[in-house]
Structure 1
């Protein structure tokens, strides 16, 4: 007996019964009645063995329980008998076996009818046929106790039939409770199963979507552990792994920053500037350009991150997107090299053409008609030379910045004075509001280009009678250059594309305002090369105001020795 109890204990303590195979469930469901029957046999030996073991009902009931126990062990429930409902034959047989035991022990061992609870509970917790189970829970106990009264010869009087009624009532009440509990559990199981299926479908869909996009995606928790990563990101991640460290931490990855031209820097990115580390710290950012890999085999990536929040609004992780822009960077470098080469090749013959046109135009005997033609040729040649210079400047902005101490007021004033004749011819008032001196660490040539472009642009789009105001002032750490005009102004759609190369507004094209659409994009690049910022505010019919913020002296800028 002790060995049997030990085996049962070892069997059930490892995991919940609902996780067992059907065969184990059947055996465990039969064991309580088997053990109770063994105990009843021991009690029979102690109380009245001669009478009980010679009683055909008791002997038949005990033999039936033993046979059913053997069946629970040897029949391949859930194997060849795949329908799980087949095992309910056993509790049904147990009902008759217990009825026989109860009849045989009536008057000697009272309460044996309570053994009916074992097969009734088995039927109830199975979850099958709940209404039939409740009917059995009521009918069989009643039949059992009344058969016991009949077998004892006491007579089937109302009083004798009603005296043992508590046993069937209790068994029925317990059966109802078990059926309700099992129905609730099965309902929860169905809900959980549906939720699990839905989760699996969502996970499969998410996996398909992530592997279909052309960017790398990684989701990290607040501690930096990878929660999700698509296949493309796994491939991209390998580009930054050192050859001598196959499983590096984020700080050990070969990641490098980029300069203003987008070229990789020689020193690795500091740990707190790496995209994943920034995301773990809760930072949100867009378009961080960095390079990954060993020198000569580096790939360029653009990283963006957004935070995840829990129900309390606390940072719980981040989604980081990595876009391989190596081909784009190569194309940009190729484009700049092409523009620089073409511009140099075009500028030399253009300069020669313009020189010879001017020589011919100076001939006093030149006919008036020819002079007019030469003026048109000279004007268009100058426009073409201006376009070539813009292209050359655009390609060389980030390669030829030379910082030195300079007087911003002097440089801006020179640009104003250069533009004053054109303003006078156009009937535009050009106002200057400059301090006597404002020293900053900057490139004088590039600052002059910034001022020239902004003033020239303001004059182009201001009608006769308007005003262009150029002001310069010093802040705590920055110089602020502001060019304000009373011209046509721009709408929000035009403002969004204003600094795009070769972009020209619809009003400029309709008014045939000369230009290639490079001036403002070059200006922004020049300002960015000085670690500054440029802003614009404009409204149609009101005018535009361009504001440039230039650092007076930045730790990032040094004067060449």
Structure 2
């Protein structure tokens, strides 16, 4: 991963190298100056040597003309703005140099034909084949003129052939090499542009990733194999009091093993454990920050793979202080409410038992026993609220249970309420439906479903409860002719605190927790639940449970119930 600092260094280094290699003038002007000044320097050396070794050669007009042409051409080269002129005009300079060197070769005392190498290389490097042929043709003309001036007759001499072959080979070689160099430079330029784009894109993605991580309310820190903090987002720095400019600096917060407990030993601190190779999920610690506040933290460490710098570790820190406090407040509230409900329920139980013992009428005794049974069930529920969360999540007590009898008891318990509401409550179970389950929990399921059906069925409507057995499957169906729900509301019926529009518009009170409780109990028993409903056409809830293959003889289902249910609503 390329950091923003590395990206800036790469761009800065490339810019510095570019500025160092780029002349103050254009590339074309610079190349023209370099080639012509090099030839002019050689000519100056030639003049000095001729004055010392062959002064008589410097008196000829051809020598003077050739030297003068090169000097004038060099001066003009330095004065002309070549970057504003077409490329073909630059070719005039080496051609003029070839002609000037040809004048110098006319004097037999001067063997300067090798100087043609400079303009030939220039033409082969920067121009095409037509220019090369033009230059070689001009050299041929100069050799022919020289031979005519010296020998008195032109003709194909060995010197001409050797010169043309040599310069032709050099021209071809230099032209090919220059073409390859230009192609290589273009390739390097494109690769450099791609590399710069990749660096910029990587840096931009890293900055975007850093901004995204800084926006989340979760601490994230990346550690190198040596335990150094490579990156820490804003939330982690705020929790641990790290310096923004130096995330590897010492944290100003202290980690504890519990609220107001003991500070963690250096080897038990999360970062030290990660460096030691330990990986963990949802590790709980307490943090005392630099502002004097306590934070409950949940930490998880995992390995990162396929990263450019090698292996690394990601430490994710969740601040769960509000969750811990909310859970503590919930348990406190549940304990207080449950404790306060015990007193009136104890009185209800006492007086219902006294009423059952004192009365001689069967009907009054049945009603007193129903009150007593319902109060006992409520006392058990209150007792479960006071249990620790681990005890509340214990598996249901499994035993041989007659689901048909549970349905019959529930229908009998709700029958008085159904009569008062003008709703026909019907039981269609006529066989023993034996399941392996918790009778208390299954009764909660039936009570919740029947209660919901009665609440949202208008006067004159019907509610049907049926329990059947088919092989290894027991089926419970509770259907009604009530107000019903839309398909989108059916999909959300198991969400906590959700109530349909018709439920909120009615005067029926509820919290929207009942169906969630039902779904949880059914899942604990390895069953399934399905809901079908249409607005104005009622609702049908189907529950399937694993059944015992040995059902035994059918039990009698029906008769008065000794239980009264209190259930929540979800519609």
State whether TM-score is above 0.5: yes
Cα deviation code 1:375-425 (max 9, x no counterpart): 222222222222222222236989xxxxxxxxxxxxxxxxxxxx9xx9699
Measure the CA separation in 1 of the matches of 2:548 and 2:179: 80
Measure the CA separation in 1 of the matches of 2:208 and 2:59: 76
Size of the alignment, in residue pairs?
391
Cα deviation code 1:475-531 (max 9, x no counterpart): xxxxxxxxxxxx999xxxxxxxxxxx9662436689899xxxxxxxxxxxxxxxxxx
The corresponding residue for 1:65 is 74
The corresponding residue for 2:94 is 95
Q: From the superposition, tell whether residues 316 and 142 of structure 1 become closer, same or farther in structure 2 (CA, over 3 Å).
A: same
Q: Helix, strand or coil: the match of 2:311?
A: strand
More contact order relative to length (CA 8 Å, sep ≥ 6): 2
Q: How does 1:151-162 map to 2 (within 5 A)?
A: 151-154=145-148, 157-159=155-157, 161-162=160-161
Cα deviation code 1:5-32 (max 9, x no counterpart): xxxxxxxxx9757863353674764436
The corresponding residue for 2:541 is none
Q: Is the 8 A contact 1:52 1:104 kept in 2?
A: no
Q: Helix, strand or coil: the match of 1:60?
A: helix
TM-score by length of 1: 0.56
Measure the CA separation in 2 of the matches of 1:424 and 1:372: 26
Measure the CA separation in 2 of the matches of 1:298 and 1:89: 81
Q: How does 1:117-156 map to 2 (within 5 A)?
A: 119-120=122-123, 123=126, 133-135=127-129, 138-154=132-148
Q: How does 1:242-253 map to 2 (within 5 A)?
A: 249=248, 252-253=251-252
Q: Is the 8 A contact 1:284 1:304 kept in 2?
A: yes
Task: Check if 1:110 corresponds to 2:113.
Answer: yes
Shift of residue 301 of structure 1? 4.0
Higher alpha-carbon Rg:
2
Task: Check if 1:504 corresponds to 2:526.
Answer: no
Q: From the superposition, tell whether residues 100 and 252 of structure 1 become closer, same or farther in structure 2 (CA, over 3 Å).
A: same
The corresponding residue for 1:406 is none
Shift of residue 158 of structure 1? 4.3
Shift of residue 46 of structure 1? 0.6
The corresponding residue for 2:330 is 335
Q: Is the 8 A contact 1:241 1:247 kept in 2?
A: no
Cα deviation code 1:100-133 (max 9, x no counterpart): 443343363231122126634763xxxxxxxxx3
The corresponding residue for 1:353 is 348
Q: Is the 8 A contact 2:267 2:273 kept in 1?
A: yes
Task: Check if 1:168 corresponds to 2:168.
Answer: yes
Task: Check if 1:42 corresponds to 2:45.
Answer: yes
The corresponding residue for 1:219 is 222
The corresponding residue for 1:386 is 380
- In structure 2, the gaps of 5 or more residues are 1-14, 51-56, 403-435, 443-471, 475-515, 530-544, 550-571
Q: Helix, strand or coil: the match of 2:313?
A: strand
Q: From the superposition, tell whether residues 37 and 254 of structure 1 become closer, same or farther in structure 2 (CA, over 3 Å).
A: same
Measure the CA separation in 2 of the matches of 1:510 and 1:359: 41
Measure the CA separation in 1 of the matches of 2:87 and 2:328: 78
The corresponding residue for 1:23 is 24
Q: From the superposition, tell whether residues 46 and 461 of structure 1 become closer, same or farther in structure 2 (CA, over 3 Å).
A: farther
Q: Is the 8 A contact 2:399 2:437 kept in 1?
A: no
Q: Helix, strand or coil: the match of 2:387?
A: helix
Measure the CA separation in 2 of the matches of 1:118 and 1:216: 66
Measure the CA separation in 2 of the matches of 1:63 and 1:56: 10
Shift of residue 316 of structure 1? 2.2
Shift of residue 45 of structure 1? 1.9
Q: Helix, strand or coil: the match of 1:111?
A: helix
RMSD: 4.8
The corresponding residue for 2:11 is none
The corresponding residue for 2:365 is 371
- In structure 1, the gaps of 5 or more residues are 1-13, 124-132, 399-418, 427-456, 464-486, 490-500, 514-538, 544-561
Q: Is the 8 A contact 1:105 1:112 kept in 2?
A: no
